[in-house]
């Protein structure tokens, strides 16, 4: 069964850091572009970052550039998002997503709350 | 950044009625347009990719059309489980962007 399971969310103060993980199973992880997509409470979907299969191509949304770092460990079938200098506007559910012609497989999401 | 504008914001319809949702992009994206469905408290689910191809397990009552800048998602006859929010998304150029969503609600 294809599965994406995020972890690492939580409550953090402004300026703090969190590291999200996404454990993947059921498909050849290294063959796919992977993304982090976030959704603020009651709002729409926003692409945060993406990484190709071998980690050689990476892109970020302007809103997180310089603060977030995406990475992957293909040996561990795991995707990561290191989030530094967190702001209140980063509060959202963060989804790990596989891309194949579209965002075809989504994780259940992990909530990140940035508040003092 | 490509901006996607969905209309209407809310569509109030009854079970069995036909729903027509629109998505317009700020520049041409060929057919790199996808549609997703999200029910309350749930993860988004891919319905349509490449403007008109149904994803695995997408019922045939869902159909997509369009190319360039104008796209349409049609639900031929609404079932109870279809009342949800629908998002369009372009993957023509990074950053991939989503529309603001159309809520299909029970009239």
Q: What is the pLDDT of residues B44-74, one digit of tens each?
A: 999 999 999 999 999 999 999 999 999 999 9
Q: Name the burial class of residue B69, with classes exposed (0-12), middle (13-18) and buried (19+) by CB atoms within 10 angstroms of its CB.
A: middle
Confidence of residue B98 (pLDDT cuts 50, 70, 90): very high
For residue B96, the Cα-to-chain-centroid distance in whole angstroms is: 15
The answer to whether B13 contacts chain A (CB < 8 Å) is: no
Shortest distance, CA A16 to any CA of chain B (angstroms): 25
Contact A103 B87 (CB under 8 A): no
Chain A CB contacts of B101 below 8 Å: 44
- Say if CB A112 and CB A10 are below 8 A apart: yes
pLDDT score recorded for residue B47 = 98
Q: By the 8 A CB rule, do B99 and B6 touch?
A: yes
A73 Cα to chain B: minimum distance (Å): 23
Nearest to A105 by CA among A48, A47, A24, A45: A24
Classify A31 as helix, strand or coil.
helix
Give the model's pLDDT for residue A99.
98
Instruction: Report the pLDDT averaged over residues A37-41.
Output: 98
Section B88-92 average pLDDT:
98
- Rounded to whole angstroms, how far apart are CA atoms A26 and B68? 35
What is the average pLDDT across A24-37? 98
The partner residue sitting opposite A104, judged by closest CB among B46, B95, B99, is B46
What is the C-alpha to C-alpha distance for residues A83 and B70, in angstroms, rounded to an integer?
36
pLDDT band per the 50, 70, 90 thresholds, residue B100: very high
Whether residue B94 and residue A59 make contact (CB cut-off 8 A), yes or no, is yes
A5-29: pLDDT as tens digits: 999 999 999 999 999 999 999 999 9
CB spacing of A102 vs B95 below 8 angstroms: no
pLDDT at B15: 97
- The three-state secondary structure class of A58 is strand
What pLDDT band is residue B10 in, cutting at 50, 70 and 90? very high
The secondary structure of A33-57 as a DSSP string is EEEEEEE-TT--EEEEEEE-TTS--
Give pLDDT, residue B42: 96
pLDDT given for residue B27 in this prediction? 98
In 10 A of CB B88, how many CB atoms? 29
Task: Give residue A26's pLDDT.
Answer: 98
Residue A79 pLDDT grade (very low, low, confident, very high; cuts 50, 70, 90): very high
Nearest chain A CA: its distance from B29 CA (Å): 14
Taking CA atoms, B54 is separated from A34, A64, B59, in Å, by: 21, 33, 8
> What is the pLDDT at residue B59?
98
DSSP conformation letters of B15-62? TT--EEEEEEESS--TT-EEEEEE-TTS--EEEEETTTEEPTT--TTE
């Amino acid at each position: 069964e294809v599965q994406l399971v995020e972890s690492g969310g939580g409550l953090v103060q402004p300026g703090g850091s969190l590291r999200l993980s996404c454990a993947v199973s059921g498909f050849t992880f290294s063959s796919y572009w992977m993304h982090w997509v976030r959704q603020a409470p009651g709002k729409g979907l926003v692409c945060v970052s993406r990484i190709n299969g071998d980690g050689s191509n990476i892109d970020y949304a302007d809103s997180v550039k310089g603060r977030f770092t995406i990475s992957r460990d293909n040996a561990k079938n795991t995707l990561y998002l290191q989030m530094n200098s967190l702001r209140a506007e980063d509060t959202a559910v963060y989804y790990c997503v596989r891309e194949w012609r579209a965002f075809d497989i989504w994780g259940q999401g992990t909530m990140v709350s940035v508040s003092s | 950044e490509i901006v996607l504008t969905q209309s209407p914001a809310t569509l109030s319809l009854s079970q069995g009625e036909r729903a027509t949702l629109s998505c317009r992009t700020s520049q041409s994206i060929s057919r790199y347009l996808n549609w997703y469905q999200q029910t309350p408290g749930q993860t988004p689910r891919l319905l349509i990719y490449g403007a008109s191809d149904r994803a695995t397990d997408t019922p045939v009552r869902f159909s997509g059309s369009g190319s360039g800048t104008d796209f349409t998602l049609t639900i031929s006859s609404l079932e109870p489980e279809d009342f949800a929010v629908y998002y369009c998304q372009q993957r023509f150029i990074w950053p991939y962007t989503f529309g603001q969503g159309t809520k299909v609600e029970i009239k």
